[in-house]
């Protein structure tokens, strides 16, 4: 279906045209939805205008022109700025009962706080709906989406979320989707580190490291990480990126804080968070999130006082 043959569904606003936002916006447009967009860096908006999107000058202008607002931005502060800031969504009058679907990855506590403030200020209803799967899955409409909010709000959001994802799970009240995403990112971040270390070990051992995924297929070690991420890491094919290292590093810091807040001592999560912080600190903030193996290669060429086994 072309963007020209629009459905009679709700007018959609989309704030945040990053890697994932661009792909999700294009998916909605391809399915016939009218979409009004805004992004902090205006040049990113140009990526979706040829597909039929309409540009707005601010998040408030997006909200004024649409029925449901979707949001996919970098972190807690960016969500707050886009919703409650001077030119934010909540500045628009007559938003009572308007639905906001936050596709960003932020903390559960921030979700509950921002949703309460947006409800008081503008009568906004809120669903947290962080996503997983990467830009290719977003274009195909096969994302995994974990949600939090009321059953009534979920029913209204369902047609849009079902357009974007093939696995949409309502995990509970506000913040439950973000809690599930914390756990998702714990697996992803530690998994990317693990796949990098496995690749390095397989290469050093002298076997045909390319054959490892097929060799281990069906066994207990098999996984999407092994089948999809390990080959990318082993081949060092990191372009185009499926995500940015700064984003995953931010998420791993959130995993570490969430674990500590819940009284859990998780050394593996701590180490994975440290690995990503070091990689971003080395100047790789905008590198592909799976390219963490480059940190190991840099350390190997420049020995550092990292801990060693006795």
Report the catalytic residues: 181
Q: Using CA of residue 186, residue 188, residue 193, residue 194, what is the dihedral sign?
A: positive
CA dist., res. 249 & res. 284, Å (int): 11
CA dist., res. 266 & res. 299, Å (int): 24
CA dist., res. 190 & res. 183, Å (int): 11
Residues 6+ apart with CB under 8 A from 199: 209, 230, 233, 234, 293
Fill in the DSSP letter of residue 126.
E
User: Torsion angle of alpha carbons 115, 131, 293, 195, nearest 10°?
Assistant: 120
**Other CB atoms within 10 Å distance of the CB of residue 192:** 28
Q: % helix / strand / coil in the chain, to the nearest 5?
A: 55, 15, 30
The tokens for 13 are 């606003």
């Amino acid at each position: 279906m072309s963007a020209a043959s629009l459905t009679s569904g709700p007018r959609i606003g989309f704030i945040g045209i990053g890697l994932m936002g661009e792909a999700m916006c294009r998916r909605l447009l391809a399915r016939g939805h009218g979409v009004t967009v805004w992004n902090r860096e205006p040049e990113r908006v140009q990526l979706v205008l040829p597909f039929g999107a309409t540009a707005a000058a601010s998040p408030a202008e997006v909200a004024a022109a649409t029925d449901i607002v979707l949001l996919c931005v970098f972190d807690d502060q960016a969500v707050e700025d886009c919703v409650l800031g001077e030119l934010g969504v909540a500045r628009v009058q007559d938003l009572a009962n308007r639905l906001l679907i936050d596709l960003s990855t932020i903390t559960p506590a921030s979700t509950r706080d921002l949703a309460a403030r947006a409800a008081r200020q503008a009568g906004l209803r809120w669903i947290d709906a962080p996503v997983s799967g990467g830009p290719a899955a977003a274009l195909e409409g096969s994302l995994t989406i974990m949600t939090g909010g009321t059953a009534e709000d979920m029913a209204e959001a369902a047609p849009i979320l079902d357009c974007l994802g093939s696995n949409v799970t309502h995990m509970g009240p506000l913040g439950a989707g973000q809690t599930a995403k914390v756990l998702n990112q714990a697996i992803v971040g530690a998994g990317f580190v693990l796949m990098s270390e496995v690749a390095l070990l397989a290469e050093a051992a002298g076997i045909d490291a390319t054959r490892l995924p097929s060799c281990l297929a069906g066994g207990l070690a098999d996984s999407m990480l092994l089948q999809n991420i390990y080959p990318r890491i082993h081949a060092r094919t990191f372009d185009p990126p499926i995500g940015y290292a700064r984003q995953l590093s931010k998420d791993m810091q959130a995993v570490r804080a969430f674990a500590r807040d819940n009284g859990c001592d998780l050394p593996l999560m701590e180490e994975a968070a440290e690995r990503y912080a070091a990689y971003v600190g080395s100047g790789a903030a905008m590198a592909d999130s799976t390219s963490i193996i480059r940190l190991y290669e840099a350390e190997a060429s420049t020995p550092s006082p990292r801990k060693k086994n006795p």
